[in-house]
Amino acid sequence: MKPGGWLAVLGLAVALGGIGAYAALLRVAVVRNHPELYVVACAIGTVLAGMALRRPHRWPTWVALAITALLLLGTATFNFVLARVPGGPTSVRVGQRPPDFTLPDATGRPVTLAEFRGKKPVIVVFYRGHW
Protein backbone atom coordinates (compact mmCIF):
# COMPACT_ATOMS: atom_id res chain seq x y z
CA MET A 1 0.00 0.00 0.00
CA LYS A 2 1.27 3.46 -0.86
CA PRO A 3 2.34 5.81 1.91
CA GLY A 4 -0.71 7.58 3.25
CA GLY A 5 -3.02 5.00 1.70
CA TRP A 6 -3.48 3.31 5.05
CA LEU A 7 -4.76 6.62 6.48
CA ALA A 8 -7.47 6.76 3.82
CA VAL A 9 -8.47 3.15 4.53
CA LEU A 10 -8.41 3.81 8.28
CA GLY A 11 -10.58 6.89 7.83
CA LEU A 12 -13.11 4.93 5.81
CA ALA A 13 -13.06 2.12 8.40
CA VAL A 14 -13.61 4.54 11.29
CA ALA A 15 -16.55 6.24 9.56
CA LEU A 16 -18.23 2.98 8.53
CA GLY A 17 -17.38 1.38 11.88
CA GLY A 18 -19.01 4.24 13.78
CA ILE A 19 -22.24 3.87 11.82
CA GLY A 20 -22.13 0.08 12.11
CA ALA A 21 -21.45 0.17 15.85
CA TYR A 22 -24.33 2.58 16.41
CA ALA A 23 -26.68 0.34 14.44
CA ALA A 24 -25.48 -2.79 16.25
CA LEU A 25 -25.73 -1.21 19.71
CA LEU A 26 -29.03 0.61 19.14
CA ARG A 27 -30.67 -1.33 21.98
CA VAL A 28 -28.15 0.03 24.52
CA ALA A 29 -29.68 3.16 26.09
CA VAL A 30 -26.39 5.09 26.42
CA VAL A 31 -25.59 4.57 22.74
CA ARG A 32 -29.14 5.24 21.53
CA ASN A 33 -29.43 8.45 23.55
CA HIS A 34 -26.18 9.86 22.12
CA PRO A 35 -26.48 9.51 18.34
CA GLU A 36 -23.99 12.30 17.81
CA LEU A 37 -21.21 9.78 18.49
CA TYR A 38 -21.53 8.21 15.05
CA VAL A 39 -21.38 11.69 13.52
CA VAL A 40 -18.14 12.26 15.44
CA ALA A 41 -16.81 8.94 14.11
CA CYS A 42 -17.59 10.09 10.56
CA ALA A 43 -15.84 13.42 11.22
CA ILE A 44 -12.75 11.61 12.52
CA GLY A 45 -12.83 9.35 9.47
CA THR A 46 -13.03 12.36 7.17
CA VAL A 47 -10.07 14.01 8.91
CA LEU A 48 -8.01 10.83 8.61
CA ALA A 49 -8.86 10.47 4.92
CA GLY A 50 -8.00 14.15 4.43
CA MET A 51 -4.65 13.65 6.13
CA ALA A 52 -3.86 10.97 3.55
CA LEU A 53 -3.84 13.68 0.87
CA ARG A 54 -0.55 15.04 2.25
CA ARG A 55 1.15 12.17 0.42
CA PRO A 56 1.14 11.74 -3.37
CA HIS A 57 -2.49 11.86 -4.41
CA ARG A 58 -3.95 8.72 -5.86
CA TRP A 59 -7.57 8.25 -6.87
CA PRO A 60 -8.34 5.74 -4.05
CA THR A 61 -7.41 8.43 -1.52
CA TRP A 62 -9.79 10.89 -3.17
CA VAL A 63 -12.51 8.24 -3.26
CA ALA A 64 -12.04 7.50 0.44
CA LEU A 65 -12.18 11.21 1.23
CA ALA A 66 -15.32 11.67 -0.86
CA ILE A 67 -17.07 8.70 0.76
CA THR A 68 -16.19 9.77 4.30
CA ALA A 69 -17.25 13.37 3.57
CA LEU A 70 -20.58 12.14 2.16
CA LEU A 71 -21.07 9.91 5.22
CA LEU A 72 -20.34 12.89 7.47
CA LEU A 73 -22.77 15.10 5.58
CA GLY A 74 -25.43 12.39 5.52
CA THR A 75 -25.17 11.46 9.20
CA ALA A 76 -25.11 15.09 10.33
CA THR A 77 -28.13 15.92 8.16
CA PHE A 78 -30.04 12.91 9.43
CA ASN A 79 -29.09 13.41 13.07
CA PHE A 80 -29.47 17.18 13.37
CA VAL A 81 -32.12 18.03 10.74
CA LEU A 82 -34.29 15.10 9.71
CA ALA A 83 -34.54 13.24 13.03
CA ARG A 84 -35.73 16.23 15.05
CA VAL A 85 -39.20 15.92 16.52
CA PRO A 86 -41.32 18.65 14.95
CA GLY A 87 -43.57 20.81 17.09
CA GLY A 88 -47.15 20.21 16.17
CA PRO A 89 -50.47 21.83 16.88
CA THR A 90 -50.89 19.52 19.89
CA SER A 91 -47.79 20.87 21.62
CA VAL A 92 -48.53 22.21 25.09
CA ARG A 93 -46.58 25.23 26.29
CA VAL A 94 -45.68 25.93 29.92
CA GLY A 95 -48.68 27.39 31.73
CA GLN A 96 -51.11 26.32 29.01
CA ARG A 97 -53.99 24.02 29.94
CA PRO A 98 -53.31 20.49 28.59
CA PRO A 99 -55.93 18.54 26.64
CA ASP A 100 -57.78 15.77 28.45
CA PHE A 101 -56.21 12.32 28.18
CA THR A 102 -56.42 8.88 29.76
CA LEU A 103 -53.34 6.85 30.63
CA PRO A 104 -52.67 3.85 32.88
CA ASP A 105 -51.18 4.54 36.32
CA ALA A 106 -48.42 2.47 37.93
CA THR A 107 -50.87 -0.34 38.71
CA GLY A 108 -52.43 -0.35 35.24
CA ARG A 109 -55.68 1.39 36.27
CA PRO A 110 -56.78 4.02 33.71
CA VAL A 111 -56.55 7.58 35.01
CA THR A 112 -58.12 10.55 33.25
CA LEU A 113 -56.84 14.08 33.70
CA ALA A 114 -60.42 15.37 34.00
CA GLU A 115 -60.80 13.38 37.24
CA PHE A 116 -58.36 15.73 38.96
CA ARG A 117 -59.30 19.13 37.46
CA GLY A 118 -60.54 21.45 40.20
CA LYS A 119 -59.96 18.87 42.95
CA LYS A 120 -56.23 18.91 43.54
CA PRO A 121 -53.14 20.29 41.84
CA VAL A 122 -51.78 18.18 39.00
CA ILE A 123 -48.26 18.13 37.65
CA VAL A 124 -48.01 16.57 34.20
CA VAL A 125 -44.58 15.13 33.38
CA PHE A 126 -43.92 13.52 30.02
CA TYR A 127 -41.11 11.03 30.33
CA ARG A 128 -39.76 9.69 27.07
CA GLY A 129 -39.06 6.33 28.63
CA HIS A 130 -36.90 3.46 27.49
CA TRP A 131 -37.44 2.65 23.81
Asked whether residue 101 is domain-assigned, the answer is no
Asked whether residue 71 is domain-assigned, the answer is yes
Other beta carbons less than 10 A from residue 83's beta carbon: 9
Q: Over the stretch 67-117, which tens digit does the pLDDT of each residue have?
A: 999 999 998 988 888 776 666 666 677 778 778 888 888 888 998 888 887
Q: Which residues pair with 111 in a beta bridge?
A: 103
Asked whether residue 42 is domain-assigned, the answer is yes
Asked whether residue 17 is domain-assigned, the answer is yes
Asked whether residue 41 is domain-assigned, the answer is yes
In percent, how much of the chain has pLDDT > 90? 23
> What's the one-letter identity of residue 103?
L
Q: Which domain holds residue 18?
A: 5-82
pLDDT of 1 strictly over 80: no
Q: 45 or 91, which is more confident?
A: 45
Q: 110 or 6, which is more confident?
A: 110
Res. 14 pLDDT band, cuts 50 70 90: very high
Asked whether residue 126 is domain-assigned, the answer is no
- Count how many domains the chain has: 1
Cα gap 86→99, rounded to integer Å: 19
Cα gap 43→37, rounded to integer Å: 10
Res. 4 pLDDT band, cuts 50 70 90: low
Output the average pLDDT for the chain.
82
Asked whether residue 125 is domain-assigned, the answer is no
Alpha-carbon distances, residue 51 vs 18, 38, 44, 66, 105 (angstroms) = 19, 20, 11, 13, 56
Asked whether residue 100 is domain-assigned, the answer is no
Q: Which residues pair with 104 in a beta bridge?
A: 110
